[in-house]
């Protein structure tokens, strides 16, 4: 027979008055994930990076030390996080990927981008209202046609 656990809130010896409440912070566990060859076609050119599924390192630090690190090393901006194709390629080579792996990934990304461009041809009129909805609301000017730019390296 399984005995149900009783709630700690039902015991008389536990006081929950406002004067007894306090918050305690312990430690933070940081997980480090490896950067690996990705498959996201949103890169401007070259092979994309992504993070791996399994963490490569775990570190436990106190909350005060974490806050100190955050104040002394502020977060990077979006622009600082962007790497050009050459930097990503060099990094991947240093991680053990072959030039063939990197080129194959870049070609697959280019195929996906080309497929998306082909699927959008002639369909802009269907979505024109969505793209232009806010453009003419903010000003009395007639909305201009947005330009869809595509480039292929190589």
What per-residue confidence (pLDDT) applies to 117? 84
pLDDT of residue 116 exceeding 80, the answer is yes
What per-residue confidence (pLDDT) applies to 4? 53
What is the per-residue pLDDT across 50-75, written as a single tens digit (0 to 9) for each? Answer: 999 999 999 999 999 999 998 998 88
pLDDT of residue 2 exceeding 90, the answer is no
pLDDT of residue 34 exceeding 90, the answer is yes
Residues with Cβ within 8 Å of 153's Cβ and at least 6 positions away in sequence, in order, are: 45, 46, 85
The owner of tokens 């076609």 is 41
What per-residue confidence (pLDDT) applies to 8? 47
Q: Which pair of structure tokens corresponds to residue 142? A: 């007639």
Between 8-12, 37-41, 101-105, 115-119, the lowest mean confidence (pLDDT) is in: 8-12
pLDDT band for position 154 (50/70/90)? very low
Give the C-alpha separation, 129 to 142, whole Å.
13
């Amino acid at each position: 027979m399984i005995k149900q656990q009783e709630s700690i809130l039902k015991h008389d010896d536990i006081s929950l008055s406002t004067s007894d409440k306090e918050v305690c912070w312990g430690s933070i566990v940081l997980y480090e994930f490896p950067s690996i060859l990705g498959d996201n076609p949103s890169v401007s050119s070259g092979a994309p990076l992504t993070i791996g599924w399994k963490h490569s390192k775990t570190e436990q630090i106190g909350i005060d030390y974490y806050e100190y690190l955050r104040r002394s090393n502020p977060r990077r901006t979006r622009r600082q996080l962007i790497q050009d194709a050459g930097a990503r390629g060099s990094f991947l080579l240093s991680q053990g990927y072959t030039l063939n792996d990197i080129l194959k990934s870049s070609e697959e990304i280019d195929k996906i981008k080309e497929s998306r461009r082909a699927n959008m041809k002639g369909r802009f009129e269907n979505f024109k209202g969505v793209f232009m909805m806010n453009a003419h609301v903010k000003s009395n000017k007639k909305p201009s046609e947005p330009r869809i730019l595509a480039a292929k390296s190589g």
